[in-house]
């Protein structure tokens, strides 16, 4: 099974961002942790961009070549109808991930354009959110 893991803006700066929200691991370390926790039949493809249009293009290019998406849209969670619309075209499971508990943070973070097209959301457990999302999507894709 092929799973695309998409990370949005500023996630390339993990390890330098406020640790109380984002933990201490870098994005490369989170990706390595996911690889270690992936099943033998899982192929993970990682993509990070600070640009909304690039994320939209990556989703569009992957519509017929992957089985599932794990996405941490980061700040675009709260602003991007374009990412929502691109994800809406994908027919497989879409798992939304956040390192922090975005629903309990600032009021502007309570707006979420991604949730309505997501199969499930994992949030608030730092890197463990990614691991739980991975196990969940693997289970779905095996059925």
87: left (phi over 0), alpha (psi -120 to 50) or beta: alpha
Nearest-angstrom CA–CA distance, 142 and 3: 12
- Count of CA atoms in the C-beta half-sphere (13 A) of 56: 12
E-strand stretches of the chain: 2-7, 43-48, 68-72, 94-98, 120-123
Tokens of 26: 């870098």
User: Catalytic residues, which ones?
Assistant: 22, 98
Residue-wise over 57-75: b if at least 16 C-beta within 10 A, else e?
ebbeebeeebbbbbbbbbe
- Helix, strand, or coil (residue 105): coil
């Amino acid at each position: 099974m092929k799973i695309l893991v998409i990370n949005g803006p500023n996630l390339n700066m993990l390890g330098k961002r406020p640790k109380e929200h984002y933990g201490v691991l870098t994005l490369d370390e989170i990706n390595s942790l996911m690889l270690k926790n992936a099943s033998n039949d899982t192929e993970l493809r990682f993509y990070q961009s600070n640009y909304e249009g690039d994320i939209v293009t990556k989703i569009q290019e992957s519509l017929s070549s992957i089985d599932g998406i794990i996405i941490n849209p980061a700040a675009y969670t709260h602003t991007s109808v374009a990412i929502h619309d691109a994800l809406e075209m994908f027919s497989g499971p879409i798992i939304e991930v956040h390192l922090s508990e975005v629903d309990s943070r600032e009021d502007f973070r309570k707006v979420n354009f991604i949730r309505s097209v997501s199969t499930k959301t994992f949030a608030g457990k730092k890197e463990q959110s990614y691991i739980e999302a991975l196990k969940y999507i693997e289970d779905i894709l095996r059925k």
